[in-house]
């Protein structure tokens, strides 16, 4: 028994999940689902769960709403004739009813028109406009259509009629020349109303017009229509859609809806209080859609406008008859399609289904195509042949862009349109065989076996004991469910299958019971009956399900609605083979997002993939790290190789780790940090993980590698890439780690070497080449002329200067040297500059990943204009239009200085780097560094104090905070917890003590002192700490003493060799 789908279990950040549990008092399951759906703060969760109509934005926020509403208002006031031009699906029908009824109540002379699906097709059409003019129409208001009607908009104008377009479909390259084009897609995606359905846009128009009559209160009476149309159109139920649907369903369930809808609910055998989003989508909407599919949709408009009970009941019976006819036609076409596939040998090797027949109704084949996609999980196109033409619909699967596929054959089509997942097309009958062949060949190239397997996105893992009524009640808080907010899919693992049997007509469904003597629960798997033979009682299995309450013969019990099942020992993803091209594309998206590699990056990656050791010389901010990150991911995923990345300082290792870990987690690649600040227990665990293949990318320092070379040599065969970032240190640094780095590389078997720098003159480049045997050199001598240094190193009032800078209204990033400072300075700026308080944010590495991503996106979109941050807001955050970088404090190294400064002006527009640091900041940084790089004197005092304590008890229990207080009593007032950690790490390196334990309380064993004098250089932690100290002193001299012109040269251009060296 194996799963018929690929299961993907989302894994939210545990710290965030625990925070929601504690703050909201909710279960771990609900907290996990919320975090997995991007709701990571208490405020976001409350906003989602407690959404209401008070959250709706003003309708006048929509583009062109003022012009459109004012024109409709004037038409009503002047007694002009208004035509609401709608669409024949439920979204168009409900939107039409809403505007017709509301505008009539406001005193308008209003009629409506819905085109015939078969005769006229979708959207405005020329003949209908001519008839409207002949009928004396002055103003046309479109609903759920019009955005692509360029020719028709011009025609309406020529006929002397004004046109107000209300639509929600994608914006074409050219918009119609209408008096107003009201479409949420014309605004930014971040707007809460961006995803409104056509009826939602109509509701907004109604709100706006009603407000001009001071009659806003009547609008809530139309929420039943809004819910009906929004659910039926399968738009995402988030933002304002969620608020509107939730309020609309409440009105329906209270029986407070229009008469026609009440009659429809009664006709289908439901009660008003039983109406969920699912029942709207699968029971009510299909009946309203049926008339538009098979004939004219006007009858559905009449139903929803009528106030006559006899009329509504009569129309509902007609709709029932239409729906039955639609079902019969649908089933007939579906059976014919299956028979045609059987004649062709079922689906076989074909990766795209393409069928055509002269007997298929064009209003139904789209539904049948969807059913075939559900059955075979392949893109499907069905055509009806009539009058020498094939006209039809297509439906697709994730990963196959149907619109792009049709573009490949557009020369042989008459017309086509649509989007990634659904499309329509028309072609001459004689072209059908050719187009079928071309599309199937295209699908064979694009789709692999894994692409033809559906993916189940699982929200959370639960135990059998957690599946109860309380859980279902809690999950109901997430409703209404629908597109963008699906009913949660849960997984329960390793459950004992007690009974299994088939039920339903023809045994189509699977019934089972799982559990043990303490708890048993039943499950029903619709359309899973054929899998009975795969499982037997006693099997242990994993089940994907939705929990629900089932009432039978008056008894209500919890039940699992099974979506898939497999043997517990089988993997969630049954595929182990990957297409290299697809993997490379996923890597690019994980590293660069939507951006593409530019030429120097492509050239370098090509050389590395060819196995050539390469030196890359690029300026700051030109994408060096993207190259080695991409290559590291490539080797991990396709060759199961490990990458070593050598950074000059452990502070840089820690800075780079956070961002790289987030990127690589998208690919399932494991990233680890290895430096001297790790205690012996953590180092032991690291090397154990490394030997067991649990580490794929290692960020480390030269010293750590040299100190532990013997351990790295044990996995030398697995090392696929050896990266030296800031590689100029190989030639210039006096550090022992760099002196021995080339030798260490050779002892590791000379894995593929990649040296990266922005600073390599002729001599430096030659030395790097020689040390790492680089046969290739890639150089880009790019100068960033748009950058300017503003020298304010003598500024006495930093805050006053920043407040003046805020007056520019431009985008600013202010770098500080601690998390506390980021928070404090942001608060100060908000207090003293209240006009922009909502535009000022703070950012640091202590925030969880969801919070950081939220802040990055807010800054990227312009919702935040000023960001006060540590260096964490740097690597990997490529925001091109930062106009000001303010270095409020002194950086800790030239590398960090260059990276932070290089964030400015990446869009090639003028940008400024403000040097606001001073000599006092040097002293502040020295205090910070002393915490991680204790001097010999501090270490001696600390060690003597430990010896005194050990005389009383050895080992003794301690916390770092306790040791800090003891040292402060001895006169070391500036010692912090970080210094205590560093002292312990150094002494452990020197084998003077051993630490054991977990958490804040540990045991410390003092070991016998060696007879010979110890050398602090034998401590990796000490050496790395002093390296950082020395690097800072060198940089501080440069940053505080050099003229701004020389400082600019270090930022805006690389130092390159005067000639490219020969091979």
Domains, in order of start, for the chain: 57-321 (3.90.1640.30), 344-452 (3.10.310.30), 456-573 (2.40.50.460), 580-778 (3.40.50.300), 787-917 (3.40.50.300), 925-1018 (1.10.10.10)
Q: How far apart are CA 459 and CA 9, in angstroms?
A: 6
pLDDT at 617 over 70: yes
Q: Is residue 472 a contact partner of residue 547, using CB atoms and an 8 Å limit?
A: yes
Torsion, CA 500, CA 504, CA 509, CA 510, rounded to 10:
-10
Neighbouring CB atoms inside 10 A of 338's CB total 17
Q: How does DSSP classify residue 468?
A: S
The helix or strand, by DSSP H or E, that contains position 395, with its residue range, turns out to be strand 389-395
φ, ψ of residue 422 to 5 degrees: the values are -150, 145
- Please give the pLDDT value at position 1001: 56
Could you read off the pLDDT of 921-938 as tens digits, one per residue?
A: 998 888 888 877 888 888
Torsion, CA 925, CA 927, CA 932, CA 936, rounded to 10:
130
- Please give the pLDDT value at position 575: 52
Which tokens is 560 given?
A: 């699992």
Return the SS3 of 539: coil
pTM more than 0.75: no
- Please give the pLDDT value at position 849: 66
Which tokens is 371 given?
A: 């059913």
**pLDDT mean across residues, the chain:** 88
In a 13 Å sphere around the CA of 192, the CA atoms on its Cβ side amount to: 19
Could you read off the pLDDT of 666-705 as tens digits, one per residue?
A: 787 888 999 887 878 788 888 877 776 678 899 999 999 9
Q: Which of 822, 508, 731 shows the shortest CA–CA distance to 813?
A: 822
- Please give the pLDDT value at position 3: 44
788 backbone φψ class: left, alpha, beta (φ>0; ψ -120 to 50): beta
Return the SS3 of 455: strand
Q: How far apart are CA 376 and CA 378, in angstroms?
A: 6
pLDDT at 1000 over 60: no
Could you read off the pLDDT of 752-804 as tens digits, one per residue?
A: 999 999 888 888 899 999 999 999 999 988 888 899 999 999 999 999 999 99
- Please give the pLDDT value at position 637: 82
Could you read off the pLDDT of 533-587 as tens digits, one per residue?
A: 888 888 889 999 999 988 877 788 999 999 999 888 777 776 544 557 778 888 8
Q: How far apart are CA 852 and CA 847, in angstroms?
A: 6
Q: How far apart are CA 1004 and CA 893, in angstroms?
A: 34
Could you read off the pLDDT of 117-166 as tens digits, one per residue?
A: 777 777 899 999 999 999 999 999 999 999 888 999 999 999 999 999 99
Q: Which of 482, 577, 578 shows the shortest CA–CA distance to 279?
A: 482
Q: How confident is the model at residue 1062 (pLDDT cuts 50, 70, 90)?
A: very low
State how far Cα 144 lies from the chain centre: 29
Burial of 860 (0-12, 13-18, 19+ CB in 10 A): middle
Higher pLDDT, 189 or 51: 51
């Amino acid at each position: 028994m194996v799963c018929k789908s690929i299961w993907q279990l989302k894994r939210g950040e545990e710290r965030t999940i625990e925070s929601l549990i504690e703050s909201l008092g909710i279960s771990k399951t609900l907290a996990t689902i919320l975090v997995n759906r991007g709701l990571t703060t208490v405020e976001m969760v409350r906003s989602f769960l407690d959404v209401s109509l008070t959250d709706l934005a003003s309708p006048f926020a929509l583009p062109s709403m003022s012009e459109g509403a004012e024109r409709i208002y004037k038409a009503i006031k002047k007694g002009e004739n208004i035509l609401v031009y709608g669409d024949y699906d439920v979204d168009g029908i409900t939107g039409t009813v809403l505007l017709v009824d509301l505008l009539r109540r406001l005193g308008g002379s209003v009629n409506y028109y819905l085109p015939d699906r078969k005769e006229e097709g979708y959207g405005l059409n020329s003949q209908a406009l001519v008839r409207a003019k002949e009928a004396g129409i002055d103003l046309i208001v479109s609903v759920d259509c019009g955005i692509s009607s360029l020719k028709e908009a011009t025609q309406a104008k020529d006929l002397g009629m004004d046109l107000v377009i209300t639509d929600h479909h994608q914006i074409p390259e050219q918009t119609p020349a209408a008096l107003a084009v009201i479409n949420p897609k014309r605004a930014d995606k971040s707007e809460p109303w961006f995803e409104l359905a056509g009826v939602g846009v109509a509701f907004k128009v109604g709100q706006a017009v009603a407000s001009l009559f001071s009659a806003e209160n009547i609008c809530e009476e139309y929420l039943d229509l809004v819910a009906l149309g929004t659910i039926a159109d399968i738009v995402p139920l988030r933002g304002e859609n969620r608020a509107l649907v939730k309020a609309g369903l409440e009105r329906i369930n209270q029986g407070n809806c229009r008469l026609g809808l009440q009659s429809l609910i009664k006709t289908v055998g439901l009660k008003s209080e039983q109406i969920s989003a699912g029942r709207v989508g699968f029971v009510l909407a299909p009946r309203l859609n049926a008339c538009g599919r098979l004939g004219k949709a006007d009858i559905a408009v009449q139903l929803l406008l009528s106030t006559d009970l006899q009329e509504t009941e009569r129309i509902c019976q007609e709709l029932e008859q239409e729906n039955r006819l639609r079902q019969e036609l649908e089933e007939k076409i579906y059976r014919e399609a299956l028979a045609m596939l059987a004649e062709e040998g079922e689906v076989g090797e074909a990766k795209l289904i393409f069928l055509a027949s002269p007997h298929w109704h064009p209003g139904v084949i789209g539904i049948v195509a969807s059913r075939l996609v559900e059955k075979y999980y392949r893109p499907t196109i069905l055509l009806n042949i009539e009058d020498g033409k094939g006209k039809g619909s297509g439906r697709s699967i994730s990963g196959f862009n149907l619109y792009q596929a049709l573009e490949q054959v557009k020369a042989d089509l008459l017309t086509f349109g649509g989007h990634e997942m659904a499309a329509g097309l028309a072609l001459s009958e004689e072209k059908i065989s050719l187009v079928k062949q071309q599309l199937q060949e295209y699908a064979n190239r694009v789709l692999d076996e894994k692409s033809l397997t559906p993916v189940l996105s699982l929200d959370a893992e639960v135990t059998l004991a957690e599946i109860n009524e309380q859980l279902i009640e809690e999950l109901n808080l997430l409703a209404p469910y629908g597109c963008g907010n699906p009913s949660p899919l849960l997984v329960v693992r390793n459950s004992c299958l007690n009974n299994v049997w088939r039920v339903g007509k023809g045994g189509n469904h699977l019934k089972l019971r799982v559990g043990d003597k303490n708890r048993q629960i039943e499950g029903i798997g619709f359309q899973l009956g054929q899998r009975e033979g795969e499982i037997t009682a006693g099997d242990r299995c994993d089940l994907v399900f939705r929990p629900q309450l089932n009432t039978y013969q008056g008894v209500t019990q919890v039940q699992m609605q099974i979506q898939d099942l497999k043997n517990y020992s089988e993997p969630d993803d049954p595929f182990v083979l990957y297409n290299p091209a697809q993997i490379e594309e996923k890597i690019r998206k994980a590293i660069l997002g939507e951006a593409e590699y530019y030429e120097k990056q492509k050239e370098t990656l090509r050389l590395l993939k060819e196995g050539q050791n390469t030196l890359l010389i690029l300026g700051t901010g030109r994408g060096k790290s993207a190259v080695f990150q991409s290559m590291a991911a490539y080797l991990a995923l396709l060759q199961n190789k490990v990458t070593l990345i050598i950074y000059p300082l452990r502070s840089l290792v820690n800075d780079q780790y956070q961002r790289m870990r987030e990127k690589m987690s998208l690919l399932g690649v494991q990233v680890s940090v290895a430096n001297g600040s790790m205690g012996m227990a953590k180092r032991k665990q690291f090397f154990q993980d490394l030997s067991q293949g649990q580490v794929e990318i290692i960020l480390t320092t030269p010293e750590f590698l040299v100190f532990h070379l013997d351990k790295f040599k044990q996995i030398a065969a697995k090392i696929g890439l050896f990266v030296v970032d800031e590689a100029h240190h190989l030639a210039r640094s006096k550090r022992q780690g760099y002196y021995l780095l080339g030798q260490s590389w050779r002892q590791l078997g000379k894995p593929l070497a990649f040296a990266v720098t922005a600073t390599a003159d002729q001599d430096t480049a030659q030395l790097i080449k020689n040390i790492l045997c680089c046969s290739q050199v890639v150089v880009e001598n790019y100068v960033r002329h748009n950058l300017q240094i503003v020298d304010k190193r003598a500024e006495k009032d930093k805050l006053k200067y920043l407040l003046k800078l805020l007056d520019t209204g431009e985008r600013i990033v202010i770098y500080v040297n601690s998390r506390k400072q980021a928070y404090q300075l942001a608060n100060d700026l908000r207090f003293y500059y209240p006009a922009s308080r909502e535009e000022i944010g703070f950012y640091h590495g202590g925030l969880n990943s969801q919070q950081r991503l939220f802040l990055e996106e807010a800054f990227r979109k312009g919702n935040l204009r000023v960001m006060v941050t540590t260096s964490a807001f740097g690597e990997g955050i490529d925001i091109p239009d930062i106009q000001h970088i303010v270095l409020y404090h002194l950086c800790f190294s030239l590398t960090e200085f260059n990276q932070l400064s290089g964030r400015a002006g990446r869009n090639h527009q003028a940008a400024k780097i403000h040097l606001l640091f001073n000599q006092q900041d040097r002293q502040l940084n020295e205090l910070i560094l002393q915490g991680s790089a204790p001097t010999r004197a501090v270490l001696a005092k600390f060690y003597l104090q430990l010896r005194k304590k050990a005389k009383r008890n050895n080992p003794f229990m301690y916390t770092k905070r306790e040791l800090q207080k003891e040292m402060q009593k001895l006169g070391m007032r500036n010692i912090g917890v970080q210094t205590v950690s560093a002292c312990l790490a150094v002494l452990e390196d020197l084998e003077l003590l051993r630490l054991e334990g977990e958490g804040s309380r540990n045991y410390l064993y003092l070991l016998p002192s060696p007879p010979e004098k110890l050398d602090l250089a034998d401590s990796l932690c000490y050496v790395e700490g002093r390296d950082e100290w020395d690097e800072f002193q060198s940089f501080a001299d440069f940053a505080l003493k050099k003229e701004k012109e020389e400082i600019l040269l270090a930022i805006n251009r690389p130092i390159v060799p005067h000639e490219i060296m020969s091979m």
